[in-house]
Every structure is written in C-alpha cells, then in structure tokens.
Structure 1
C-alpha cells in the first residue's frame, strides 16, 4: 500500500467461507447472484464449478472454498455467487466466486489495514492484500486479481468470460454497474 492510500477509507464487500471472514474491494464487484444452476465444464479443475448465464453471457464460476483448500460445503439459502470484474490486459474478465454468505459493505480506514503476516517460504498467501480487524474478528482482504491468476483468466476466456470495458451494466465510476451503497447489506433478507 502506498502513502497516497494511507489516511483515507476503502469500501469492501464482506463474505464468509466456512468460519473465515473475507473482504473484496467493492469496486471489483459487479453484482451478487442467488445460487443458481451451474453448467459443469468437463476436464476443468475441481474448484472450477462451471459457467452460469449472466444476461446472456457465460460466466465461469469458481468455488472459493475448494480454491483455498477448504472442504466443500452444501448449498444453503445464504449461498451466493459474487460476480467480479478482473482486469486482464486491455479489457476485463467476469468471474463468479461462490461464497457461503455475503454479509455487508464496510468502510475501513486504510491505516487500519495491516499487511498480511509472513507465513514462511512454503506457504503461498500473495492473494491476501491485507488484514483488518472488524469488531471481534479479523477480515482477510483478498486481492481479486491475484486470487484469479492471469493464467486462469486467460484459460477462462475459452469458457466465454471475455468482456470489454463496455460490458453491459458496467457504468463508469461505479462498482460494477451499481453504486456501492446499492449492494444489499444482507442479501438473504
């Protein structure tokens, strides 16, 4: 994090995976979907669940639990697919991420975001941008572009994930086509 970011606030969408709390920069979130039918694509990694139809486009969906080495979970009423816009070369790619539950949008002061702890040479945790305390819990702030590596994004293009800067529903300066305050605080309600 550079000095220009210190002293301000950032907005994050919080979500749960197992008993862990994660956060994504709100500006990488395009929309939040209820769990829907996912069409499986043969010969893809287990964490790649398949594709969903988002307004006529096939968007690949990743199970974040499996991607992070957590046990698989049953779908519940709270299970959501978070559609993210990930920068890719000259455009962006839409990718869905399955979360156990989407919680709320939080504003966190940037000087309260600590760098991720060093875990040793055998542990790859470069996808964690930082850690912030919220109440009695820690939030692991994910770097969406590192969670979904460039190689994965390029491979997903074949599944129909390619989108230009003028993707439908994407308004300039908004969080994926809607203002951050329009993200429901409790989508299950």
Structure 2
C-alpha cells in the first residue's frame, strides 16, 4: 500500500498518508501532516484520559500525543525505537459562525506505509 495514494471525493482527488495501528490501516489528508518522527519520551499530563500519553515540545509548540490504539479500546503496547508519531495540524470548527480553531496533535502509529 502506498504512503501517498489518490482517493476520490466529491471535490476530486485528494492525497492521503496511510498508516497502520495493529492490523488496521487508516488515512489522513496529507495536507494535515506536519511531520513524522520516531518515538520520543513525552511529559505526563495529570488528570487526562489514558489514551493521551503525554505532551511533546515540537519547535516551541506543546503538542498532545494520543494513542488511538488505547482510544479504540485495544491493549496498550510498549513504545520502541520503531514506534512512529505523526504530527497533524488541522482546523476544528467549534462554532456555527465562520470561526475555526487550528490545533496540532500527534498520533502514535505502528508504521507509515511506503
């Protein structure tokens, strides 16, 4: 499976990044991907759900790191040098007006497809 592949939507074609968590594959819009890097230790944040594994300082920006495996009810795995973190930046529509809120987050994945 290609790390970048074309999918068709009502607006035409779109580039996506595919990644694997366990045996499942997922895709995100390539334009939301800021960077991809190996696992680095995070800082714990008190009183957060287990699936928020901590925060990381990425070039002066505090980025929450989430483990979708845990969020989806799967068992937690040990993070190793082969664990990958995909940093995403997207826009969250929070109101009915034209206002939107940009946010950055990292997701822990097993592999990014090439």
Could you tell me the TM-score, scaled by structure 1's length?
0.49
Contact 1:33/1:80 (8 A) holds in 2: yes
C-alpha distance in 2 between matches for 1:52 and 1:19? 26
Work out which of the two has the higher radius of gyration on C-alpha atoms and give 1 or 2. Answer: 1
Corresponding residue for 2:70?
66
Aligned length: 101
Is contact 1:76–1:100 with CA below 8 Å preserved after alignment?
Answer: no
**In the alignment, does 2:30 pair up with 1:33?**
no
Aligned-pair CA distance for 1:78: 2.4
Q: Runs of 4+ in structure 1 displaced over 3 angstroms?
A: none
- From the two aligned structures, give the one with the greater strand fraction: 2
5 Å-filtered alignment, 1:95-106, equals 95-104=105-114
Distance in 2, matches of 1:36 and 1:55, equals 14
Gaps of at least 5 residues in structure 2 are 1-8, 93-98
Correspondence list, 1:1-189, <5 A: 4-5=10-11, 8-88=12-92, 89-104=99-114
Let me know the Cα RMSD of the aligned residues: 1.8
Structure with the higher fraction of residues in helix conformation: 1
